[in-house]
Chains A and B, each alone.
Chain A
Amino acid sequence: MRLKNDSSATLASLFGLIAGGILLSSCTVTRTGSDISLPVISLSPTTATVPAGQSVQFTATVVSSIATYTTWAVNNIVGGNSAVGTVSSTGLYTAPVSVPSPATVTVKCISQSESYPYGSAIVTITSSASPTVAVSPTDSSAATGGTVQFTANVTGIANTAVTWYVNGVAGGSSSVGSITSAGAYTAPASVPNPPTVVVTATSQADTSESASTALTITASNTVPLYVNFGINGDTGVSSTDYYNGLFTSVTICLPGTADCQTIPDILVDTGSVGLRVLNSALTTVPATELTTVRNTVQDQVLECVQFGDASYAWGPVLVADVVIGGEKASYLPIQVLGDTVSTVPAPSCLPLGQGVNLDTVAALGANGILGVGTFAQDCGLDCAAGQTFTPYPYYVCPEETCQTTALPVTLQVSNPVAFFPTDNNGVEVVLPVIPATGAPSLPYTSADGSSMITAGSLIFGVGTESNNGIGSATIYAADANGNFPTIGYNGTSYTSEGILDTGSKALYVLDAQTLGAPVCFDNPYYCPSSPLSLVLTLNGANGSQGTVTLDIANADTLFSTSPGYAAFNDLGGPSGDGLSADYFDLGVPFFFGRGVFVGIAGTAVPNNATAPNGYFAF
């Protein structure tokens, strides 16, 4: 139906007269063009719950091409009344002081145009005058130092402001975590005791109304450890397969920024110190954007590291922020491999001869090496003093000719753990028990789900958190070289020393003649006719002593019985060949079923033990 402007004005006036002097109000009017049609009215909100005696504000929107007058009503009673509640000329509905029957009423904004079009909303009046508070998320968890955004949903009251508490303390505290007025929670730096805290939001309008939820702080000092063949996979050749490869992920950031890249398949090595990463693995955080380390005459420093097997790492020393789990070492010197055109200075760096250059995934079998051994730096005072020895690590190569350079300790490639703000005195390597026939990998779940082997853990800090206490473990102080000073076997005390080394695939002990077992024909491991149990007496520099029993199985039998398996706890190999009393390099097989602590030299030692050069404990 179409109306003329003047007739609608007449109708409105007429309605006003009929209303008998009750105040008429105008809803918001939006005019739309010149087309004449009936007004369309909508209310916001369309539903509301109001405690008895409380109010809620409604807004009406009128879309109309003509001038129109409107009025507010409750249950079609203009302005409402004390039984159903009242509505003001501005749309403020006030519920009655007691709940009406029925408890639901209808609020309308009515046009006085022809046929009285209206918009309506349903209001439920509740008996409680108190607001209700709900908090989300519920039962959450956060890593230490991590953040969680909480939201409080306050209903039944106009003032929705809340005050946030952690364990009853407004705003929280450094020990249980802090929370802002906007609900942004930051977990404490270390796991509180107990590790679960309570986050509460309390209505500021009615402090008797609140809601709480539990939040568990998980250790940020832990990263999972995986055992597999590494990034090159199972080559099917037992002499070169990377058995017992122990890997984790490391995040590298441009120093002081949030520009980061997480790099998987980093070999975890308790037998070396410092982080070394392949240039080819640095893609989103390219090595060219990392800060260079320079010597006193501003020449860029490169490093050459020769390992005991004559392989070597060659490349620049660069500065990065290194994040592992929830821990971060800022501005840490690391080495990047395969990122230099300079020729390796073989005479002074490679005394064992020029072995394999670890500059590719194929050669390294990983994207990098994370050295978390007993030292804080990979060279120490000897390099700071610029002494000459081989293999000398630090070089500058102006005009492509490399020369040794002295380098202060603070610029040397460093153990990231020693430079975490907390949990920086060492690590614990925890690997689960595996069968004597090996495991395909860690973690591993059989196809039918009937058997499962968990991943291991690399836990940062010793005795610094609830999850890394040393308990009753025996502390074996390292000697000045980072070794067990002597190891006993079969009545002989071997002074050739030894180490617990996750960078080695096998238990490298003795020689074939001394052990009484041959080396396999087609791989470098022992092939005893039947499995051997080896009892070693480990001696610490602090006088502590303990025995361990290690099993060595026939490697050929292991590989044929368990093809495709990467993890073996009884893989052994000779540390010497034809000579007795060689070094004891106890690799990953030693670690299965154990938690082994590696303490960094110069840090506080648990249980009042004396271990100035670091320690091993298990």
Chain B
Amino acid sequence: MQVRHDGRFMRTLWGVLLTLILGAAPAWAVLGEPETTVNADGQFLRGVIRDEVHQGYRLHQITDSNGDVVREYVSPAGEVFGISWQGPYVPSMQQLLGSYFTYLQQHAQSQTTRHGGPLNIQNSDFVFTNGGHMRWYHGRAYVPSLLPTNLSPEVVQ
């Protein structure tokens, strides 16, 4: 019984720790949001952020301890127009996509069977793809309307 009691205590403590970690991240999202949210993502992913300036856009690359890489593409207007991810795990799309996560939920509800292939969503204001396999995932998303002029969506790598 004593062991069982200890187990309950451990679980309670664990739940508190999770709350603290999650609590460090703001509830707002990234895609389509101002650039300042990138730092929030860095906290959420507990990763190292590297900033790059490219012609026509800025790139913030977050690498976490698990080997996951998240790249966030920022327009000259200061808005995040694209995101990509690659690594053993999939970051929380709810966190990265914010309001655009609704498109994933809608897509999921339209499915009834396993496909086994990649997950693709394309419409006029949101483009999303995710592929890979157990222990490795890869994907990206962008908002066509936020894409800087003279930039191809292929910059989102």
Contacts and interface: CB of A to CB of B under 8 A. Distances in A.
Contacts of B114: 307, 309, 311, 356, 358, 363-365
A576 B3 contact: no
Interface string B93-104: 110000001001
Q: Which of B114, B136, B138 has the most CB of A within 10 A?
A: B114
Contact of B6 (A297, A378, A575): A297
Contact of A496 (B15, B86, B105, B119): B86
Contact of A355 (B11, B64, B108, B116): B108
Interface in B44-58: none
Contacts of B104: 310, 352-353
Contacts of A506: 117
B66 A581 contact: no
A506 B157 CA distance: 23
B134 A272 contact: yes
Nearest to A375: B135
A602 to B, nearest CB: 14
Contacts of A417: none
A426 interface: no
Interface stretch (A171-179, A253-261, A322-330, A381-389): A381-389
Contacts of B107: 310, 353
A577 interface: yes
Interface string A470-504: 00000000001111000000000001110101011
Contacts of A310: 104, 107-108, 111, 119, 130
B131 interface: yes
A351 B108 contact: no
B13 to A, nearest CB: 11
Contacts of B121: 577
B112 A356 contact: yes
Interface in A281-325: 297-299, 305-311
B interface majority secondary structure: mixed
Interface residues of A, number: 73
Contacts of B11: 297, 299, 396, 398, 403
Contacts of A581: 154, 157
Contact of A354 (B108, B138, B153): B108
Given A352-B104, A373-B134, A403-B15, A503 B7 contact: no
Interface string B117-133: 11111100001011111
A292 B89 CA distance: 27
Nearest to B154: A580
A599 interface: no
B134 A363 contact: no
B37 to A, nearest CB: 18
Contacts of B138: 496-497, 582-583
B154 A585 contact: no
A363 B65 contact: no
Contacts of A505: 115-117
B117 to A, nearest CB: 5
Nearest to B102: A353
Contacts of A390: 89-92
B120 A577 contact: yes
Nearest to B10: A297
A576 B118 contact: yes
A579 interface: yes
A351 to B, nearest CB: 4
10 contacts: A271-B133, A272-B133, A363-B114, A364-B114, A365-B114, A373-B134, A499-B133, A506-B117, A508-B117, A574-B120
